[in-house]
Amino acid sequence: MSYMSDAQSFAASTTPDHPHSMGMVFQIAGSSSKVLIDAQRLGILGQDADPCVAMAGQVGSQVKMRVGASWLIASVRAMALDQATHSVIADIDFLGEGDEEPATGCIHHFRRGVTRYPTPGTDIFPVSSADMQQIYAADDRANVEIGTVYPTSDTRAALYVDSMLGKHFALLGSTGTGKSTSAALILHRICDLSPQGHIVMIDPHGEYGAAFAQNGAVYDVSNLALPYWLMNFEEHCEVFVTSQGADRTVDSDILAKCLLAARSKNRLADSIGRLTVDSPVPYLLSDLTTILQNEMGKLDKGTGALPYMRLKTKIDEIKADPRYSFMFSGMLVADTMQQFIAKIFRLPSDGKPISIIDVSAMPSDITSTVVSVLSRLVFDYAIWARDEPQRPILLVCEEAHRYIPASTSGSGQAVRKILERIAKEGRKYGVSLGLITQRPSDLAEGVLSQCGTIIAMRLNNDRDQAFVKAAMPEGARGFLDSIPALRNREAIICGEGVAVPIRVALDTLEPQRRPASSDPSFTDLWRQSGGEQDILARTITRWRSQGR
In a domain, 9, yes or no: no
Kindly give the pairing relationship between strand 393-398 and strand 199-203.
Answer: parallel
In a domain, 391, yes or no: yes
Kindly give the pairing relationship between strand 32-38 and strand 87-100.
Answer: antiparallel
Predicted confidence at residue 319, as pLDDT, reads: 87
Predicted confidence at residue 396, as pLDDT, reads: 92
Residue 277 sits in the same domain as residue 366? no
In a domain, 537, yes or no: no
CA distance 248 to 250: 5
Residue 461 sits in the same domain as residue 353? yes
Last residue of a domain, one of 298, 324, 350: 324
Residue 433 sits in the same domain as residue 500? yes
Instruction: Give the pLDDT of the chain (548 residues) as one tens digit per residue.
Output: 444 444 444 444 433 333 468 888 888 876 668 888 887 788 788 777 777 788 777 777 788 888 887 888 888 877 888 777 778 888 888 888 888 777 766 677 777 778 888 888 888 888 887 777 777 766 677 888 888 888 777 778 888 888 888 889 999 888 878 888 888 999 998 888 888 889 899 988 888 888 888 888 888 888 888 888 888 889 888 888 888 888 888 888 888 988 888 888 888 777 777 888 888 888 888 888 888 888 877 756 666 778 888 888 898 898 888 888 888 887 777 778 888 888 888 888 788 888 999 988 888 888 889 999 999 999 988 888 888 888 888 999 988 888 888 877 666 788 888 888 898 888 888 889 999 988 888 888 778 888 888 888 888 888 888 888 777 766 566 667 777 778 888 888 888 888 778 888 888 888 878 887 666 778 788 888 888 888 888 888 877 776 54
In a domain, 32, yes or no: yes
Please give the DSSP secondary-structure letter assigned to residue 487: P
Neighbours of 437 (CB within 10 A): 24
The CATH number linked to 188 is 3.40.50.300
- By residue range, what is the domain housing residue 202? 158-227+334-516
Residue 428 sits in the same domain as residue 340? yes
In a domain, 481, yes or no: yes
In a domain, 107, yes or no: yes
Strands (E) in 457-507, as ranges, are 490-495, 502-506
Residue 207 sits in the same domain as residue 294? no
Helix (H, G, I), strand (E, B) or coil at 357: strand
Residue 428 sits in the same domain as residue 474? yes
Predicted confidence at residue 105, as pLDDT, reads: 65
Q: How far is CA 510 from the centre of its chain?
A: 22
Residue 381 sits in the same domain as residue 264? no
In a domain, 234, yes or no: yes
Residue 196 sits in the same domain as residue 48? no
In a domain, 541, yes or no: no
Predicted confidence at residue 16, as pLDDT, reads: 33
Residue 503 sits in the same domain as residue 427? yes
The CATH number linked to 57 is 2.40.30
Contact 412, 405 (CB under 8 A): yes
Hey, what amino acid is at 476? A
CA distance 466 to 8: 39
Neighbours of 40 (CB within 10 A): 11
Hey, what amino acid is at 532? E
Last residue of a domain, one of 282, 305, 324: 324
Secondary structure (DSSP) of 232-255: -HHHHHHHH----HHHHHHHHHHH
CA distance 308 to 292: 6
CA distance 400 to 362: 17
Residue 346 sits in the same domain as residue 433? yes
Q: How many domains does the chain have?
A: 3
Residue 505 sits in the same domain as residue 451? yes
CA distance 166 to 169: 9
Last residue of a domain, one of 275, 294, 324: 324
Residue 338 sits in the same domain as residue 445? yes
> With 0-12 CB in 10 A as exposed, 13-18 as middle and 19+ as buried, what is 133?
middle
